[in-house]
Amino acid sequence: MDYAIARQNMVEGQIRPNKVTDQLVLQAMETIPRELFVPKHLRGISYTDEDISLDNGRWLMEPVVLARMLQAADVEENDVALEIGCGTGYATAVLSRVASTVVAVEPDSEFSARATATLSELGIDNAAVIDGELTTGCPEQGPYDVILISGAVEEVPQALLDQLAEGGRLVAVVRAAGAPFGTAMRFARVGGHVGERPLFDANIPSFPGFAKPPQFTF
């Protein structure tokens, strides 16, 4: 299989037709070898337009959803970015091509080791994978201009919103418990306050630990 052609087909056949025009994002996704971030027996389907199931209940996010979320985050070349739940590190690698520095948090030590090894293999030296809890992030390295949550959540924790710099943007797919689809959302800190707006419908697997606290009724 010619993976370079597969990458080009992914960009031209899946991503561009879905309203992605950000040249940095397009170039990154045409450059990063997605096949290196899945087990060898899955490399033949690494450029399909769907989530790819990995080990330990994790996945590789659908390319179009990732591209649209990064475009919505308005990532700039001098930005410091935080990724929540990097898995094998594909989105981390893509982010490293559009941002200045990337910090990726991953609670699974097997995945964090695999991601670190693959990033090193690709010569990516502006991204670091840190073992940590998804809902906590990495406040000691913040604040961040961009935060990407690489899985659906019921609610974005205040602890992550607090790590946004002034003018910072957080993108995540928010899905209510039991709902078939979620909504990609953009959160932004302006004047010290965080506002939000919906972007597009999205259906990606959920991260555990982001359940919305129960509401008391009287």
What pLDDT, on the 0 to 100 scale, is given for residue 215?
57
What pLDDT, on the 0 to 100 scale, is given for residue 110?
94
pLDDT above 80 (res 103): yes
What pLDDT, on the 0 to 100 scale, is given for residue 1?
85
What does pTM read for this prediction? 0.94
Q: How far apart are CA 107 and CA 134, in angstroms?
A: 7
Contacts of residue 206, defined as CB under 8 A and 6 or more positions apart, other chains included, come to 151, 152, 153, 154, 175
What pLDDT, on the 0 to 100 scale, is given for residue 210?
78
The DSSP letter of residue 158 is: H
pLDDT above 60 (res 177): yes
Mean pLDDT within 77-90: 97
Order of strands across the sheet that contains 80-84:
127-131, 101-106, 80-84, 144-153, 164-174, 182-190, 193-202
**Do residues 197 and 72 lie in contact, with contact meaning Cβ atoms separated by under 8 Å?**
no
pLDDT above 80 (res 100): yes
Q: What percent of the chain has pLDDT over 70?
A: 96
Q: How far apart are CA 47 and CA 56, in angstroms?
A: 21
Mean pLDDT within 30-54: 95
Q: For the segment 112-142, what is each residue's pLDDT rounded down to a tens digit?
A: 999 999 999 999 999 999 999 999 999 999 9
Mean pLDDT within 23-35: 97
Q: What is the CA radius of gyration of the chain?
A: 16
**Do residues 51 and 66 lie in contact, with contact meaning Cβ atoms separated by under 8 Å?**
no
**Do residues 146 and 156 lie in contact, with contact meaning Cβ atoms separated by under 8 Å?**
no
